[in-house]
Amino acid sequence: MPKKVLIVDDEPHIRLLLEQTLEDFEDEGVEIFSASDGLEALELIKSEKPDLIFLDVMMPKMNGFDVCNTVKNDLKLSNIYIVMLTAKGQEFDKKKGIESGADIYMTKPFNPDEIVSKASEVLGINI
């Protein structure tokens, strides 16, 4: 079964940047999906069961904390690795992200090398 990555961000240029950062994984058979808001993300999570999610916090319709909490606590999908990506790097936000079930918290602007490194680790694919 192919590995799957979901990118969730309401800003198109951030989604594109993440897709470009992760495109080498597609050569290894990884499927990459994207969503522009929390509700769309939840639908994709339920249907595709991604292995890894890069999840923005500040989004319309449903924020990243709520998406993360729903995935980890309501849907009980604890095997999905969630990386919270946000411009808000305050300790309070990091704590809230971890409390909602995020596996790791990264602040924007992110370092593409860190994204590739984390994806390699989680997916078990060396790029």
Q: Which residues contact 115 (CB under 8 A, 6 or more apart)?
A: 18, 21, 22, 54, 106
Least confident of 86-90, 93-97, 98-102, 112-116: 86-90
Q: Is the pLDDT of residue 90 over 90?
A: no
Q: How many domains does the chain have?
A: 1
Residue 41 sits in a domain whose CATH number is 3.40.50.2300
Give the predicted TM-score (pTM) of the model: 0.95
**Domain with 73 in it:** 4-123
Distance CA(94)–CA(98), nearest Å, equals: 6
Average pLDDT across the chain, whole number: 94
Alpha helix positions (H), 1-127: 12-26, 38-48, 64-69, 91-99, 112-123
Structure confidence by residue, pLDDT tens digits, 10-65: 999 999 999 999 999 999 999 999 999 999 999 999 999 999 999 999 998 999 99
